[in-house]
Structure 1
Amino acid sequence: MQLSYLGINVERLDAQWEAILFDVLGLEARPREEGAPLQLRVDDRHHRITLYSTGENSTAYVGWEADTQAEFDQVLRGLREQGVACEEADARLCEERAVMRMVYFEGPDGVRTELAFGGVVDGQPFKPSRAISGFNTGEQGLGHILMASADPAATVQWYQDKLGFRVSDYIHWDEARATFLHCNPRHHSLAIMNPCFGTGAGELNHLMLQARSIDDVGRGYDEVQRRGIPLALTLGKHTNDHMTSFYMMTPGGFAIEYGYGGRTIEDEEDWEVQFYNAPKLWGHNLGKAQD
């Protein structure tokens, strides 16, 4: 299982969005007609992120992908047995998401959640919009997301029971109470916390994209400072996943974390769940956006 794709509603696609997506992160935009959604590539997949210019800022959908057809069928069967109303996507919607098969349903806090199989691998190579070494995706998926929930304990249990996620660890700091969950070797693909730091229930706090080189992150950090892009958190290193990263504030009201060097969970039996009282080893100071 992996975080496969993400759909985001934005008030408008402006110059700051373009600077973050292309000048800092180096994503590739798929060709589109005027007014059409902006589909973004991060690897050999057709696309993994879609921005919809809707006049509002919100999460449109979160897409999780099963590794095999058998896993897809097993998870779908379990969802229906547990009373989750799943709708089968038609051919048009599967083409829009660039997957072989997909079902959608309401997740915790009303978040539209999708289960897919067979993400389309594009015949053309990924062409970043600036010189970067690429992103750490593959079996680990797009990256990770942190979302707030009105009932974090129930939401964590939902992902464990319905999608088979496993707890990586916990961090409690200031007013935040966060649980980190994994579904593949990535330290966490999902984190759930209580509403805090301006993030309400069902809202996206941040999306993390992991670079293949620390130099990509460093040069991106230089670009952020050169262009005056607001920082949510300065460059720093996390306690739990050991990611070295910084956080940019987007016009959509959530942050994008750009990092390198996150540790993985290769053996479940050898992994020890830890409880941390701080999210950082160093750095990650509040940026100008939150002064």
Structure 2
Amino acid sequence: MDIIGLGYMGFEATDLDAWRDYGPAVMGFAIGQNPEGDPDSLYFRMDDRRHRLAFHPGKVDRLAYLGWEAKGRMEFKAACRKFTDAGVDFTVGDAELCEKRGVKELIRFFDPVGFRHELFYGQKWLPDSFVPGRRHGGYLAGRRGLGHVVLMTPEFPPELEDFLINIMGFHWYGSGAGKGKTGFFRSRLNTFTSHDIAYGHAPGRMGIQHVGLFVGSLRDVGETYDIVKKRELQMMMTLGQHSQDPHISFYHFNPSGFAFECIAESEPWHDDGFELNPEKMSVWGHELVGPILGPSVKTPEEVGDPEFKAKKG
């Protein structure tokens, strides 16, 4: 499938007021305009797209959906045919849902472990319209997608890798240097970063572990780092550089209990051409000063999608 990367993400959140302050003041997000028919949610902009992150009122903090961007209408139609031929169950988004997402067309489906995904094309945008919530150099969220996400799953069956590689068309990047079973995957058209999504095996647990966002400069990372420290927000890892990426980043927890990794490129990423097996996760820094799994990772009963649970019986 000709997928660019993550176009948007949606969450259920228990404290939208905390996000309304945190998003602009800490991360530099801009608060977006609510689409008609959805006055209670909170939408954040990271660039000239109508929105990149959506937070909907919920009884528990959890990931609601991941939106993958197809290159265009023809690529979207080809993906739908591939899903049909492979016997993947999906639903077509109606006009109301497409308007909420700000896209031309979309479909919705589940991966084999129960996370909901959407595939779309043609998200609304307006050139030179993004104004950050505070002084900020902006996010690199265009041709690579908005960033990457790491999910924890209670099961890591062969069907998951088959779905991601043979149906979604993702490239297998490797398992990284972490402990346990982990898989990193990159969408077909993304040649700018190592991975768009990763799954970690956490028996009995499920949820979102962190989201990685690329900023315009190292200064953006440093200023966010200072704000996080000044506000005494819980960090996961201090400033550092991973072994497999020429990037500098740090991790801290947001109001929904998962972490944001703020990332600046020290040099452009390039495909190594072989599967890496790093001796350790980072070449310097990234001291673990908080939990590796935040409160957003709970039991499947707490954060699993109700529709998927109903289908599983």
TM-score > 0.5, shorter chain as reference:
yes
1:12 pairs with 12, 15, 21, which one? 15
**In the TM superposition, what is the alpha-carbon distance from 1:264 to its structure 2 partner?**
3.0
Contact 1:156 1:192 in 2 (8 A): no
Moved over 6 A (4+): none
> Which residues in structure 2 correspond to 1:53-202 (within 5 Å)?
53-122=57-126, 125-149=129-153, 150-151=155-156, 153-174=158-179, 176-183=180-187, 184-185=190-191, 186-195=193-202, 200-201=205-206
- Taking a change above 3 Å as real, the CA distance of residues 115 and 31 of structure 1, as seen in their structure-2 partners, is closer
1:283 pairs with 276, 285, 303, which one? 285
Letter in 2 for 1:116: F
| Residues in 2 aligned to 1:284 and 1:28: alpha-carbon distance in whole angstroms | 28
| Residues in 2 aligned to 1:157 and 1:243: alpha-carbon distance in whole angstroms | 29
> CA-atom RMSD, angstroms?
2.2
Q: Deviation per CA, 1:155-197, whole angstroms, max 9, x where unpaired?
A: 22211111100012321433x332211111122111122117x
Partner SS state of residue 125, structure 2: coil
Contact 1:173 1:277 in 2 (8 A): no
Q: Does 1:264 align with 2:269?
A: yes
Contact 2:172 2:183 in 1 (8 A): yes
- Taking a change above 3 Å as real, the CA distance of residues 195 and 277 of structure 1, as seen in their structure-2 partners, is farther
Contact 2:238 2:250 in 1 (8 A): yes
Letter in 1 for 2:132: P
| Residues in 2 aligned to 1:158 and 1:39: alpha-carbon distance in whole angstroms | 30
Structure 1 residue ranges without an equivalent (≥5): none
Structure 2 residue ranges without an equivalent (≥5): 295-313
Once the two structures are aligned, what percentage of the paired residues are identical?
A: 30
Contact 1:78 1:162 in 2 (8 A): yes
Contact 1:237 1:245 in 2 (8 A): yes
**Normalising by the residue count of structure 2, what TM-score does the alignment of the two structures yield?**
0.84
| Residues in 1 aligned to 2:269 and 2:113: alpha-carbon distance in whole angstroms | 28
| Residues in 2 aligned to 1:32 and 1:9: alpha-carbon distance in whole angstroms | 16
| Residues in 2 aligned to 1:195 and 1:216: alpha-carbon distance in whole angstroms | 32
| Residues in 2 aligned to 1:278 and 1:177: alpha-carbon distance in whole angstroms | 15
Q: Deviation per CA, 1:92-114, whole angstroms, max 9, x where unpaired?
A: 10010111110101123211111
Partner SS state of residue 16, structure 2: coil
**Normalising by the residue count of structure 1, what TM-score does the alignment of the two structures yield?**
0.90
| Residues in 1 aligned to 2:100 and 2:39: alpha-carbon distance in whole angstroms | 15
Report the number of matched residues: 283
Q: Deviation per CA, 1:248-274, whole angstroms, max 9, x where unpaired?
A: 1123221111111174346xxx62221
**Higher-strand-fraction structure:** 1
Letter in 2 for 1:287: V
